[in-house]
A and B are shown apart, each in its own frame.
Chain A
Amino acid sequence: MTYLLQHVVNALQWGSFYALIALGYSMVYSVLMLFNFAHGDIFMVGAYIGLFVSTGLLLLGTAGAVTLPNWLVLVLTIILGMALTAVVGMLVERVGYRPLRKAPRASAALTGLMIGITFQTLNLALLGAKRRSFPALIETATYQVAGVSITNTKIMIVVISLLLMLALDQFVRRTKWGMAMRAMAVDIFVVPLMGVPINTMAALTFALGSALAAVAGIFFGQAYPVLEPYMGALLGWKAFVAAILGGRGSVLGAALAGFMLGFIEIFVAVVFPSTLRDLIAYSAILLILTFRPYGLFGEPYSARLRL
């Protein structure tokens, strides 16, 4: 029992990464009806931005300028990381997708792949193939709760991720932008006629998704402090699976499916050898999709082509 609970904690942490990234895929899909295949690499860029911001802030301390406490460095890293990665996301939209707004969807999908590869290779070219380690900003403390050991890092990751998802939910429900996003998800044709600028909404959607991916990247850096240029590829694809499993364009679905994916992966590895983990986990998802082809919360008619 204790043994299983321990895995629940790990699954929640992995689930947080997947959910934060999947939300970005899902929001962009629902608003603009396109899969932003560069999103996994935006997550990678977010992790690196977090790395540079935190290293920079720590350097301020060693250079003797201002010594900031580590928790403050972490908070600033998250805030600046979100903001800067949001800018990257908006650039991707502006440069990669906006000119193709009226092009066939397949072209836009290809653009996403190109941008992703560009990010990876740029990273390689500029920083070299060497892996980089993310500075540990939290002094790890381990708590024993009912025989389960939980680190403060894990608690922080899960709690902040959940809070961000709640904030997003409120944003989408209650603000004019959120309402306009939901309206665009149903029918983009009418939205500008109600005075809503589509380009602003597109940029905002990319910004929000990228900011969440940045948080995932920074948290990933805290949990597994090794960054490399291709880290976004596998994790990004898995989060994409979560977005599909949740139901294309469903924000709630993406978050839940992200956590579900974390649980499936972790618990498959409990029962089976870990080398078979992804094989079994993703076969199971394929099976789920066979019976629920629109995902957990998707709708059959969301496949209607727009734009």
Chain B
Amino acid sequence: MALLEVEGMTHYFGGLRAVHNYNLQIQRGEIRGLIGPNGAGKTTIFNLITGIYRPTRGRIVFEGEDIVGLPPHRIAARGIARTFQNMLLWRHMTVLEHVKVAHYARIDYGLVGAFLGTPRRRRQEAEFEERSYELLRMMGVERFANKVITELPYGAQRRVEIARALATEPKLLLLDEPAAGMTPEEMIEMVDTIRRIHSMLGMAIFLIEHRMRVVMDLCETIQTLNFGEVIAEGTPDEIRNDPVVIEAYLGKEVVT
């Protein structure tokens, strides 16, 4: 059984058809890419899977259960986490706090415990702090733990965002342009980091990316989207050589 299965998903914004008859199957532990020109509906698909929008039609089955209509926090708690194209971080808050908040669903001491500082609270706090540090270490931003997020360089902020997503212990991680705005060197480091967290944690990854290097390096299979419809699906090599993709997305000239 696939980890995530999307069947015949269609979504309209008013009269505008953003996604049309979209199908997707992601296996456990797989890395899959989603590419397509601007406005093709890639981020909309992420928003539909994570429950921000409810699809007009279609099914989204995660671990055998239909999750359409569940509130976003429940979908997150079931094991789907994501990052955002424009990095929605919480200025004023420290790096460590970002990762701690994402443990919300796993912290179960009550309000009373919070006020009285029960042993259970202290134990859990210590445990989650340790885990948060571990994730920051994994993403290579541990040294910034107690800094306010806005003081960090751009690339490091992206890494914190991924650490925050990882803190929800996802079985499926959706990355929305993880290398956007990065220098070529940062981009290569990011690819390495994604590969490392994938081999350490083993979750499935579904990523949107404009930088071909990233998608081609990381993904086993790639979907190409245009005007809300999948126009091609295959291995990086197949996609690279598919005339439909080249025309729709890469332009008429051949890109290597």
Contact = CB atoms under 8 A, between A and B. Distances in A.
Determine the interface band of chain B, counting residues with CB < 8 A from chain A. Answer: 35 or more
Interface string A184-222: 001101111111111000000000000000000000000
A183 B76 contact: no
Contacts of A174: 114
B164 interface: yes
A187 B71 contact: no
Contacts of A189: 52, 88
B10 interface: no
A167 B101 CA distance: 20
B201 interface: no
Contact of B76 (A167, A187, A193): A193
B50 A193 contact: yes
Given A176-B104, A179-B97, A194 B76 contact: yes
B82 interface: yes
A171 interface: yes
Nearest to A301: B91
B123 to A, nearest CB: 14
B100 A176 contact: yes
Contacts of B98: 183
B198 to A, nearest CB: 20
A195 B105 contact: yes
A217 to B, nearest CB: 21
Given A176-B107, A186-B92, A189-B88, A196 B101 contact: yes
Interface residues of A, number: 22
B88 A175 contact: no
Contacts of B154: none
B16 to A, nearest CB: 19
Contact of A194 (B71, B115, B168): B168
B114 A177 contact: yes
A180 interface: yes
A197 B103 CA distance: 12
A183 B165 CA distance: 14
Contacts of A195: 73, 76-77, 102, 104-106, 168
Contact of B90 (A171, A176, A187): A187
A253 to B, nearest CB: 13
Given A179-B100, A179-B101, A196-B73, A171 B168 contact: no
B72 interface: yes
Given A193-B72, A194-B164, A196-B104, A177 B111 contact: yes
A182 interface: yes
B152 interface: no
A183 B76 CA distance: 16
Contacts of B104: 176, 180, 194-196
B114 A192 contact: no
B225 interface: no
A193 B82 contact: yes
Nearest to A170: B115
Contacts of A179: 93, 97, 100-101
Contact of A193 (B81, B103, B115): B81
B50 to A, nearest CB: 6
B91 A198 contact: no
A179 B106 CA distance: 14
Nearest to B72: A192
Interface string B39-83: 000000000001110000000000000000001111011000110
B91 A186 contact: yes
Nearest to A190: B88
Contacts of A198: 71, 73
A23 B51 CA distance: 32
Contact of A171 (B82, B91, B106, B114): B114
Interface string B136-177: 000000000000000000000000000011011000000000
B84 interface: yes
Contacts of A177: 111, 114
- Among B72, B77, B103, B106, max chain A CB count under 10 A is at B72
A182 B98 CA distance: 10
A174 B113 CA distance: 12
Contact of A192 (B73, B93, B97, B165): B73
Given A171-B114, A195-B102, 6 more contacts: A179-B93, A180-B101, A193-B52, A193-B72, A196-B104, A197-B71
Lowest 10 CB-CB distances: which A-B pairs, in order? A195-B105, A192-B72, A186-B90, A195-B76, A175-B114, A192-B73, A194-B102, A190-B88, A197-B73, A196-B104
28 contacts: A167-B115, A171-B114, A174-B114, A175-B114, A176-B101, A176-B103, A176-B104, A182-B90, A182-B97, A186-B89, A186-B93, A187-B90, A190-B90, A193-B76, A193-B82, A194-B76, A194-B81, A194-B165, A194-B167, A194-B168, A195-B73, A195-B76, A195-B105, A196-B73, A196-B104, A196-B105, A197-B74, A198-B71
Interface of A: 167, 171, 174-177, 179-180, 182-183, 186-187, 189-198
